[in-house]
C-alpha cells in the first residue's frame, strides 16, 4: 500500500507520523476550551465534533465526539469505527472532489498541533500488564535466577500478567515523581524506606479495548482481536529496587503502581492492517484456545530516547520492534477472559517489555546496563545505569510503509525528585 494523498499538505510528508493512511484518534482542547475528540493529520488535529455538527457523519445517531474521552465512540463497535474512517478519507483525499462548503468545514475544524493541549484519549477502566517478550523475560530471568532457569515453567504456555492501577495511567507529557518505598539490599538484614534508586522504563505497546465481552463468557483469539480498538505507546515505569524486595510471592505492587505513561494517539487496527505478522515459532504447541488462525501481531519499529536535564539533545538508547513479542495482544486478551473475566470499553493491556536480540535493542535500562554493571554512555557524555532526576524519557514508534509511516507520536515523561514525606 502506498500513501493516500491528502489535501492537508503536511500529511503528505513521508516523515510525518500522521498521513491520511493513519488517522489516529485523540482528545484535545484549545484556549482552555472543553476537551473533545479529534484525529491527527499531518501537523494538525481535526476536530471531529465540528465535523459531526456539519453532517460529515450522517449515519451516526449522536455526537459521540463531543465527549471528553473516546470511550463512547469506541463502544459503538467496528462498523462505526470503519464508517468514520471511510468518511474521513473521502473528505480529505485529493482523489475526491469536494464543494466549497466542505472545504470550509475542514478549515474550521483544523487546528495546528502546536496550538492545542492533548489529554488522556480514553478513560481507563482496568489496566493489566503482561510479561510476554521472550528476550526480556530471558534477560531478567538470567540476571536473577541464572540462564538455566531464566523462563518460569509456565512462560511458554500462557501469557503471564498482573493487574496494575488504572488511576495512575497518564498521558504523555505528564511529569513522574520518583517513587518512595521499602527496599532491602542483599547485604542488609532489614529493609529501609526512601526514594527508589533504580528507577527504570519499560518500552511497551498498549492494546485499547473497544468492545466488551460478557462476564463468564470466554472469547476466542479472533473474537479478542475484534474487541481491540487500537494501540498506544506505553511506558510502564518501574522501581527495580522496590520490586526486588516486594515481588515474592504475588508479583509487582508498589514498584509499578506509581505511574504508567501512554501516547496521546490511539492508532487503529484499520491503519495497521497491512503490517500484520505472525507471532514467532513455538517451542511447545499452545493449547487450542490460544492458537492464532491468522497473523495478529504487528511490524512496528520502536525506539527509546533519553535526555538529561540541561542536555542539548536526546540520545537514542534502544531500537527494537513490536514483532519481538511472543504473544499477541489478542492472545493476551483471550487468556485474560477465558476464566470468565469481563473486559470493558477502555480497558488497557500492556504488552510487556519489548526487547530485541542485543543491548542496543533492549526495552529497559535494567537490561541495557545489565543490572547496573554496564552503564550506557549517552551522546552528551553522561552515563546511565538507571534514570536520574531531571531525565526526560521519550518513546517513539511507527510502522513503515511505501513512502509513508503509521506513527504513534511520542510518549514522554520527565523524572522529578521524590515528594517531601516525613512520617
Q: Which residues pair with 170 in a beta bridge?
A: 261
Over residues 118-132, mean pLDDT:
97
DSSP annotation of 90:
H
Tell me the C-alpha distance between 75 and 65, whole Å: 12
* Domain boundary residue, one of 89, 118, 147: 118
86 within domain boundaries? yes
Domain identity same for 293 and 341: yes
Domain identity same for 196 and 83: no
Tens of pLDDT along 374-386? 999 999 999 999 9
Name the burial class of residue 166, with classes exposed (0-12), middle (13-18) and buried (19+) by CB atoms within 10 angstroms of its CB. Answer: middle
Domain identity same for 88 and 189: no
Tell me the C-alpha distance between 253 and 269, whole Å: 31
Task: Give yes or no for residue 355 having a pLDDT over 90.
Answer: yes
Active site residue 136: yes
3 within domain boundaries? no
The alpha-helical segments, DSSP class H, found in 93-183 are 100-109, 134-145
Residue 32 confidence (pLDDT): 87
Over residues 89-118, mean pLDDT:
95
422 within domain boundaries? no
298 within domain boundaries? yes
Residue with cell 462505526: 80
293 pLDDT band (50/70/90 cuts)? very high
Task: Give yes or no for residue 1 having a pLDDT over 90.
Answer: no
In this structure, are residues 298 and 324 in contact, taking their beta carbons and an 8 Å threshold? Answer: no
Q: Which residues pair with 130 in a beta bridge?
A: 161
Among candidates 16, 18, 4, which has minimal Cα distance to 264?
Answer: 18
Tens of pLDDT along 318-337? 999 999 999 999 999 999 99
Domain identity same for 195 and 341: yes
Domain identity same for 76 and 205: no
Count structural domains, the chain: 2
* Domain boundary residue, one of 61, 83, 118: 118
The separation between CA 139 and the C-alpha centre of its own chain, rounded to angstroms, equals 22
Domain identity same for 67 and 208: no
pTM metric for this prediction: 0.97
4 within domain boundaries? no
Domain identity same for 222 and 140: yes
C-alpha cell, 421:
514525606
* Domain boundary residue, one of 73, 98, 118: 118
Which among 67, 136, 335, 336 is annotated as catalytic? 136
C-beta contacts of 77-83 below 8 A and 24+ residues apart: 77/210, 77/211, 78/210, 78/211, 78/226, 81/210, 81/229, 81/268, 81/270, 82/270, 83/57, 83/59
Residue 395 confidence (pLDDT): 98
194 within domain boundaries? yes
Instruction: State the chain's maximal CA–CA distance in angstroms.
Output: 76
In this structure, are residues 158 and 131 in contact, taking their beta carbons and an 8 Å threshold? Answer: no
310 within domain boundaries? yes
Tell me the C-alpha distance between 351 and 332, whole Å: 8
Domain identity same for 112 and 133: no
Q: Which residues contact 156 (CB under 8 A, 6 or more apart)?
A: 282, 283, 284
CATH code (residue 208): 3.90.850.10
Among candidates 146, 144, 167, 78, which has minimal Cα distance to 345?
Answer: 78
Domain identity same for 67 and 204: no
CATH code (residue 25): 2.30.30.230
3-state secondary structure at position 398: strand
Tens of pLDDT along 12-30? 999 999 999 999 999 999 9
Tens of pLDDT along 157-216? 999 999 999 999 999 999 999 999 999 998 999 999 999 999 999 999 999 999 999 999
Residues of the chain above pLDDT 90, percent: 96
Domain identity same for 13 and 133: no
Residue 144 confidence (pLDDT): 86
Domain identity same for 203 and 265: yes
Task: Give yes or no for residue 367 having a pLDDT over 90.
Answer: yes
Q: Which residues pair with 47 in a beta bridge?
A: 38
Q: Whole domain around residue 99: which residue ranges?
A: 9-118
The separation between CA 46 and the C-alpha centre of its own chain, rounded to angstroms, equals 22
Scored b (16 or more CB within 10 A) or e, 348-379 reads bbbbbbbbbeebebbbbbbbbbbbeeeebebe
Task: Give yes or no for residue 412 having a pLDDT over 90.
Answer: yes
Among candidates 352, 410, 389, 421, which has minimal Cα distance to 175?
Answer: 389
Over residues 60-78, mean pLDDT:
97
Domain identity same for 236 and 279: yes
1 within domain boundaries? no
Amino acid at each position: 500500500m502506498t500513501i493516500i494523498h491528502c489535501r492537508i499538505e503536511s500529511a503528505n510528508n513521508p516523515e510525518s507520523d500522521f498521513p491520511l493512511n493513519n488517522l489516529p484518534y485523540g482528545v484535545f482542547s484549545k484556549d482552555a476550551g472543553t476537551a473533545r475528540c479529534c484525529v491527527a493529520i499531518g501537523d494538525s488535529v481535526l476536530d471531529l465534533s465540528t465535523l459531526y455538527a456539519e453532517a460529515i457523519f450522517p449515519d451516526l445517531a449522536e455526537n459521540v465526539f463531543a465527549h471528553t474521552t473516546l470511550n463512547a465512540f469506541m463502544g459503538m463497535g467496528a462498523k462505526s469505527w470503519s464508517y468514520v474512517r471511510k468518511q474521513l478519507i473521502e473528505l480529505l483525499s485529493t482523489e475526491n472532489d469536494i464543494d466549497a462548503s466542505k472545504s470550509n468545514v475542514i478549515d474550521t475544524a483544523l487546528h495546528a498541533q502546536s496550538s492545542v493541549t492533548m489529554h488522556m484519549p480514553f478513560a481507563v477502566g482496568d489496566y493489566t500488564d503482561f510479561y510476554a517478550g521472550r528476550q526480556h523475560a530471558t534477560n531478567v530471568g538470567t540476571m536473577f535466577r541464572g540462564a538455566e532457569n531464566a523462563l518460569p515453567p509456565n512462560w511458554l504456555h500462557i501469557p503471564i500478567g498482573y493487574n496494575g492501577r488504572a488511576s495512575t495511567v497518564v498521558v504523555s507529557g505528564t511529569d513522574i515523581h520518583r517513587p518512595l518505598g521499602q527496599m532491602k539490599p542483599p547485604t542488609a538484614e532489614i529493609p529501609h524506606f526512601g526514594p527508589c534508586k533504580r528507577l527504570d522504563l519499560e518500552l511497551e505497546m498498549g492494546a485499547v479495548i473497544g468492545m466488551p465481552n460478557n462476564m463468564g463468557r470466554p472469547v476466542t483469539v479472533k473474537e479478542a482481536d475484534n474487541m481491540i480498538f487500537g494501540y498506544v505507546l506505553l511506558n510502564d515505569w518501574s522501581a527495580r529496587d522496590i520490586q526486588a524486595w516486594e515481588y515474592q510471592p504475588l508479583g509487582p505492587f508498589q514498584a509499578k503502581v506509581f505511574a504508567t505513561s501512554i501516547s496521546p494517539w490511539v492508532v487503529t487496527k484499520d491503519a495497521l492492517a497491512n503490517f500484520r505478522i505472525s507471532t514467532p515459532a513455538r517451542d511447545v504447541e499452545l493449547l487450542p484456545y490460544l492458537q492464532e488462525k491468522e497473523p495478529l501481531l504487528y511490524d512496528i519499529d520502536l525506539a527509546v530516547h533519553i535526555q538529561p536535564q540541561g542536555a542539548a539533545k536526546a540520545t537514542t538508547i534502544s531500537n527494537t520492534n513490536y514483532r519481538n513479542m511472543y504473544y499477541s495482544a489478542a492472545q493476551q486478551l483471550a487468556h485474560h477472559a477465558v476464566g470468565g473475566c469481563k473486559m470493558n470499553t477502555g480497558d488497557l493491556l500492556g504488552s510487556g517489555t519489548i526487547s530485541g536480540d542485543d543491548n542496543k535493542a533492549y526495552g529497559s535500562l535494567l537490561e541495557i546496563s545489565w543490572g547496573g554493571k554496564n552503564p550506557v554512555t549517552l551522546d552528551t557524555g553522561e552515563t546511565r545505569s538507571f534514570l536520574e532526576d531531571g531525565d526526560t524519557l521519550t518513546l517513539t514508534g511507527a510502522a513503515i510503509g511505501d513512502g509513508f509511516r503509521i506513527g504513534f507520536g511520542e510518549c514522554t515523561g520527565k523524572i522529578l525528585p521524590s515528594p517531601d514525606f516525613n512520617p
